[in-house]
Amino acid sequence: MELLNKLSENGRLSEAEFAELLRSYDETLATEAAAIARIKRKGTYGDRVFLRGLLEFSNYCKNDCYYCGLRKSYRGLSRYRMTKEEIISRTDYGYELGFRTFVLQSGEDAFFSDELLCGMIAEIKDRHPDCAVTLSIGERERESYERLFAAGADRYLLRHESCVKEHYALLHPEEMSFEHRMGCLRMLREIGYQVGCGFMVGSPFQTTGHLAKELCFLAEFKPDMCGIGPFIPKEGTPFEEKKAGSVEMTCFLLSLIRIMLPDVLLPATTALGTLDPEGREKGIMAGANVLMPNLSPVSLRPLYALYDSKICMGEESAECVECLKRRIEKTGCHIEVSRGDHKHFTHRGGVEPFAGGG
Ligand code: SAM
Ligand code: SF4
Ligand code: FES
How high is the mean pLDDT in each 10-residue block of the chain (358 residues)?
95 97 98 98 96 98 98 95 98 96 98 98 98 98 98 98 98 98 98 98 98 98 98 97 98 98 98 98 98 96 96 94 94 92 70 35
Rounded Cα–Cα distance for residues 38 and 61 (Å): 38
pLDDT of residue 354: 36
Q: Ligand 1 pocket check: which of 172, 226, 306 to mutate, most ligand atoms within 8 Å of Cβ?
A: 306
Residues with CB under 6 A from ligand 3: 293, 312, 315, 319-320, 323-324
pTM for the whole structure: 0.96
Burial (CB count <10 Å: 0-12, 13-18, 19+), residue 281:
buried
pLDDT of residue 348: 59
Q: How far apart are the first and last CA of the chain?
A: 31
Spatial contact of 163 and 185, defined as CB atoms under 8 Å apart: no
pLDDT of residue 347: 62
46-207+221-245+266-336: CATH, from 3.30.420.40, 3.30.2320.50, 1.20.1070.10, 3.20.20.70: 3.20.20.70
Ligand 1 center to residue 199 CA distance, Å?
Answer: 9
CB-side neighbour CA atoms (13 Å) of 218: 35
What is the residue extent of each domain of the chain? Answer: 46-207+221-245+266-336
Burial (CB count <10 Å: 0-12, 13-18, 19+), residue 67:
buried
CB-side neighbour CA atoms (13 Å) of 44: 24
Q: Ligand 2 pocket check: which of 73, 106, 108 to mutate, most ligand atoms within 8 Å of Cβ?
A: 108
Rounded Cα–Cα distance for residues 144 and 176 (Å): 19
Ligand 1 center to residue 122 CA distance, Å?
Answer: 26
What confidence tens digit (pLDDT) does each residue in 22-72 have? 999 999 999 999 999 999 999 999 999 999 999 999 999 999 999 999 999
pLDDT of residue 345: 74
pLDDT of residue 199: 98
Ligand 2 center to residue 59 CA distance, Å?
Answer: 9
Q: Ligand 2 pocket check: which of 57, 58, 61, 307 to mutate, most ligand atoms within 8 Å of Cβ?
A: 61
pLDDT of residue 355: 34
What confidence tens digit (pLDDT) does each residue in 78-127 have? 999 999 999 999 999 999 999 999 999 999 999 999 999 999 999 999 99
Q: Using CA positions, which residue lies closest to atom 1 of ligand 3?
A: 320
52 phi and psi, to 5 degrees?
-125, 130
User: 3-class DSSP state for residue 344?
Assistant: coil
pLDDT of residue 352: 38
| Helix pair 84-97, 114-127: axis angle to 10 deg | 30
Ligand 2 center to residue 60 CA distance, Å?
Answer: 9
